[in-house]
Amino acid sequence: MIVNPEIDRYLNSLLPRRDEVLADMEAAAAQHIVPIVGPAVGRLLAQLVMITRARRIFELGSAIGYSTIWLARAAGPGSEIHYTDYSEENARLARRYFERAGVASEVQVHVGEALAMLGRTPGEFDLIFNDVDKEMYPAVLEAVPPRLKRGGLLVTDNTLWSERVLDPPDATSRAVVEFNRRLYESSQFYTTLLPLRDGVTVSLKL
């Protein structure tokens, strides 16, 4: 927990009940220890999509598609959401959830390495959500800027990395620290790290 656990409980107590699909996914993720953003960050993702009216969205690291559904529902019918994961099994589960959530026609599923899939998908995006393995975060900073439109958002999860950014004990933590430092220094982005759950960084492409 990054914030005081009582504050965290309070924030979660404010969240409206999720529908059956998201509730099932939260239960499955807890049972099988699948890391998902959870409802507080899911709601933030949806809100950022609504504020920016993002319609073309690329997600780097989607697992069973929980955050994908928050993004797709906020973007609405006719939007284009790209799911990526290198696990066939995750993609199989995600496709079933997309059907149940009513977003299957908006979501394109790519199985493979997320940055390679981004490279193979032409055009600019309104929003890119980054949730890949943390040691890849510096590589994300190379791949993403040319693929975001001006005024678009790069949103990144786990940027406080369970407090390990304070005294990074390993290469993965150092990659997150480097990512945060470079984003704040970048003249290409205007960045704020929000201490929600495990830290969410929101970067506006200038």
Ligand X SMILES: C[S@@+](CC[C@H](N)C(=O)[O-])C[C@H]1O[C@@H](n2cnc3c(N)ncnc32)[C@H](O)[C@@H]1O
Q: Among all residues, whose Cβ is closest to ligand X?
A: 61
Binding positions for ligand X, rule: CB under 6 A = 35-37, 61-63, 66-67, 84-87, 90, 113-114, 131-133, 136
From the CB of 65, what's the least distance to ligand X, in Å?
7
Q: Which is nearer to ligand X, 79 or 185 (CB)?
A: 79
Q: Name the CA radius of gyration of the chain, rounded.
A: 16
Q: Which is nearer to ligand X, 151 or 199 (CB)?
A: 199
In the DSSP assignment, the letter for residue 197 is T
Report the alpha-carbon distance of residue 50 to residue 135 in Å, rounded: 30
Q: Which is nearer to ligand X, 87 or 206 (CB)?
A: 87
What secondary structure does DSSP assign to 75-111, as a single string? Answer: H-TT-EEEEEES-HHHHHHHHHHHHHHT-TTTEEEEE
From the CB of 110, what's the least distance to ligand X, in Å?
9
Report the alpha-carbon distance of residue 95 to residue 140 in Å, rounded: 25
From the CB of 156, what's the least distance to ligand X, in Å?
11
From the CB of 34, what's the least distance to ligand X, in Å?
7
Residue (of 75, 78, 70) closest to 53 by Cα position? 75
Q: For residue 178, what are its two tokens? A: 């480097």
Q: Which is nearer to ligand X, 89 or 163 (CB)?
A: 89
Report the alpha-carbon distance of residue 206 to residue 203 in Å, rounded: 9
From the CB of 58, what's the least distance to ligand X, in Å?
12
Q: 85: which residues sit within 8 A by CB, 6+ positions away?
A: 61, 62, 63, 91, 94, 111, 114
Q: Which is nearer to ligand X, 87 or 151 (CB)?
A: 87
